[in-house]
Structure 1
């Protein structure tokens, strides 16, 4: 009997069933995932017409940019590149973490998931049959028409969570919820002239994620709130029982059906909404003042430690954990999306660790280099540069690829 790798008999499904399933797969990246299962699945669904025009979803960007931008959908994947690859090493087929983003004409662009740098395949042409992908998470980013990420937007999601499955999202039914200006939480609906604040008292929000069909948002003190169907807050969970609200930056990660809080301790102060307001009101070169350059820029704290908490939903409390799951898991923290990945499937195979970058400002969101990625190990609390680890140095750069701005 023909089986897929791992012994699953999915390859023996009748053609009519495969065609019926394939006909319901719409987004290009979903077609790519479907076709990567095995030969029979690849034969059942043709390569989509990536040149087919897909109207870009236009969204008004928050102040101070205050112009029309584009909402770009992307998918975080674990990609296993099939041998042979010219000059590839013995681990060239190991899984790599990549982002697949759809352009305004449906074409697929491979990106580094943390830096957003484009991945270019060299020296040979990449075929869609050259790799298998497993989807880990989906995300969106707001960018200018020129392609640059909107610097004032930290995190963007579609409301309700089910809207993220639209392909492409329909302009007339989109509500965009975002954390912008370093802590404000607001939303924009098609036709709105400007953004509306969801909370006009708390301007220190750090992250927002979908969890069990609803959105949860966390602030810098670790307070967790749930957003209901009317875009209102309906409940809150207590912050972790640690002095002064813990570290200086909070991220939410859904993994294995559970919600985790990653608390990042920093060696300096992060920029907040008041710094943004002061710059916009008092600085002649506000954008240059906020962005800065290199290590001399005013806000560029480094992580010195991490703590991880798991939400106990029965008692509504964060409980500190020393492992990311018994099945071997890693967390990846990015500006647009924080997600978990199976350690056994990716290059290096290191478990219970967190991949991240310290640089979270405009420069990092558009021009961060692969060398800036670091890894924190929960077991011993160590922090290392990924580029210095032989087994993991290319976890975000598949063999034969290079990055470019």
Structure 2
């Protein structure tokens, strides 16, 4: 077994080495309270599974990870909705074969049955695998949770959710939690309307039921933000459901707008399709990245993200560092177009299809047919 250093008060390296035998303890001899109250809180779901798979004693120290939180919402006419959590993880081999520190990302949904579904990062469609084949065993990988998202699913079996499917009219879901206000589910519908429901209540109410049409919603700096079709960003006062304007008018109604957080700043990505001059039947993509200058309160166009890239997925927009992941390029926007993964470069406005950038992992497997498993513990 490994040993855990108990720590010293200083001194030179030689003295520390001589004292090592006296100031170290076996991992097995660490107090149980240390495992339960401190160490376990630093572990994600797959870390706990890996820890419990070492031996019977370690399996008895930490309980199985709690299932991903899910909430059942009952709405009118006896219909039930299930709020399901989905997570995006960074994967990296435990024993890298080269000096590269790069990894991959994967999107996983944990069902009420404690089974996992592998989802496409951009579209949320389920990825099926042939078993047995190459197996992606999470016990052989470093796994770090990056983001969590939520979806609303519909059930027609009285709320048992033995069978369910996503709601077609819901564009994006945000779960907001506050100690005093409880948990609220904000849903941005495909009609551009924003609705909210407190966990435990039956009905969704419309937030600001005026004529505003919203394009995106995000949880940023502990607040819920939305952007409307004219490019105005609002944050929502969740105690009164009043909208507070936090940006000037952008006034580009013809472009779809997405909110992305990166390095503590909030960006707006504008995207629209256009006909190319060479072939009028072929659609091109035009993308602009903007942020508000806090001093002048004016919109600034961002043309250089450096090493950073943006990913626009169905239920979450996020940023990554290209140097940390295989296959990605910095200063690019990744999104789904016509069922394929597209990469838009802010350097030259070039659009390329880069299928399979998220799956399979070409540097980890030799076959395109891959299955993945989690540990039974």
TM-score, length basis structure 1: 0.67
Of residues 72, 86, 89, the one that matches 1:58 is 72
8 Å Cα contact 1:161/1:210 also seen in 2? no
The root-mean-square deviation of aligned C-alpha atoms, in Å, is: 4.0
Of residues 219, 240, 246, the one that matches 1:236 is 246
| 3-state SS in 1 of match to 2:246 | strand
Superimposed CA distance per residue, residues 50-106 of structure 1 (whole angstroms, 9 cap, x where no aligned partner): 7x7778411247x9x983121110112222245799xxxx99995222112221133
Q: What residue in structure 1 maps to residue 326 of structure 2?
A: 347
Question: Given the superposition, is the C-alpha separation of residues 207 and 117 from structure 1 closer, same or farther in structure 2, using an over 3 Å criterion?
Answer: same
Superimposed CA distance per residue, residues 354-393 of structure 1 (whole angstroms, 9 cap, x where no aligned partner): 110135xxxxxxxx5xxx1111111110111113xxxxx4
Q: What residue in structure 1 maps to residue 83 of structure 2?
A: 71
Q: What residue in structure 2 maps to residue 381 of structure 1?
A: 349
How many pairs does the alignment contain?
Answer: 322
Q: What residue in structure 1 maps to residue 160 of structure 2?
A: none
Q: Is 1:252 aligned with 2:259? A: yes
Q: Is 1:137 aligned with 2:147? A: yes
Structure (1 or 2) with the greater helix fraction:
1
Q: How does 1:140-219 map to 2 (within 5 A)?
A: 140-145=150-155, 146-160=163-177, 173-219=182-228
Q: Name the CA distance, whole Å, in 2 between partners of 1:117 and 1:198.
A: 29
Q: Name the CA distance, whole Å, in 1 between partners of 2:292 and 2:50.
A: 35
Of residues 316, 333, 336, the one that matches 1:357 is 336
Of residues 250, 262, 272, the one that matches 2:269 is 262
Question: Given the superposition, is the C-alpha separation of residues 114 and 257 from structure 1 closer, same or farther in structure 2, using an over 3 Å criterion?
Answer: same
| 3-state SS in 2 of match to 1:160 | strand
Superimposed CA distance per residue, residues 88-147 of structure 1 (whole angstroms, 9 cap, x where no aligned partner): xx9999522211222113333332211223343751443222222333321101112334
Q: Is 1:226 aligned with 2:238? A: no
Unaligned residue ranges in structure 2 (runs of 5+): 5-23, 156-162, 276-281, 372-377
Question: Given the superposition, is the C-alpha separation of residues 210 and 218 from structure 1 closer, same or farther in structure 2, using an over 3 Å criterion?
Answer: same
Q: Name the CA distance, whole Å, in 1 between partners of 2:117 and 2:351.
A: 31
Q: What residue in structure 2 maps to residue 295 of structure 1?
A: none
8 Å Cα contact 1:121/1:401 also seen in 2? no
Q: How does 1:278-317 map to 2 (within 5 A)?
A: 304-317=285-298
Of residues 25, 45, 51, the one that matches 1:31 is 45
Structure (1 or 2) with the greater strand fraction:
2
Question: Given the superposition, is the C-alpha separation of residues 349 and 210 from structure 1 closer, same or farther in structure 2, using an over 3 Å criterion?
Answer: same
Question: Given the superposition, is the C-alpha separation of residues 219 and 129 from structure 1 closer, same or farther in structure 2, using an over 3 Å criterion?
Answer: same
Deviation at 1:257, TM superposition (A): 0.7
Q: Name the CA distance, whole Å, in 1 between partners of 2:79 and 2:304.
A: 44
| 3-state SS in 2 of match to 1:114 | coil
| 3-state SS in 2 of match to 1:144 | strand
Q: What residue in structure 1 maps to residue 359 of structure 2?
A: 396
| 3-state SS in 1 of match to 2:166 | coil
Deviation at 1:179, TM superposition (A): 0.5
| 3-state SS in 2 of match to 1:32 | helix
8 Å Cα contact 1:160/1:229 also seen in 2? no
8 Å Cα contact 1:57/1:71 also seen in 2? yes
Question: Given the superposition, is the C-alpha separation of residues 397 and 93 from structure 1 closer, same or farther in structure 2, using an over 3 Å criterion?
Answer: farther
8 Å Cα contact 2:122/2:314 also seen in 1? yes
Deviation at 1:253, TM superposition (A): 0.6
8 Å Cα contact 1:25/1:31 also seen in 2? no
Q: In terms of Rg, which structure is larger?
A: 2
Q: Name the CA distance, whole Å, in 1 between partners of 2:62 and 2:134.
A: 20
| 3-state SS in 2 of match to 1:23 | helix
Deviation at 1:208, TM superposition (A): 0.8
8 Å Cα contact 2:48/2:62 also seen in 1? no
Q: What residue in structure 1 maps to residue 7 of structure 2?
A: none
Deviation at 1:177, TM superposition (A): 0.6
Deviation at 1:305, TM superposition (A): 0.8
Q: Name the CA distance, whole Å, in 2 between partners of 1:141 and 1:313.
A: 33
Q: What residue in structure 1 maps to residue 312 of structure 2?
A: 333
TM-score, length basis structure 2: 0.72
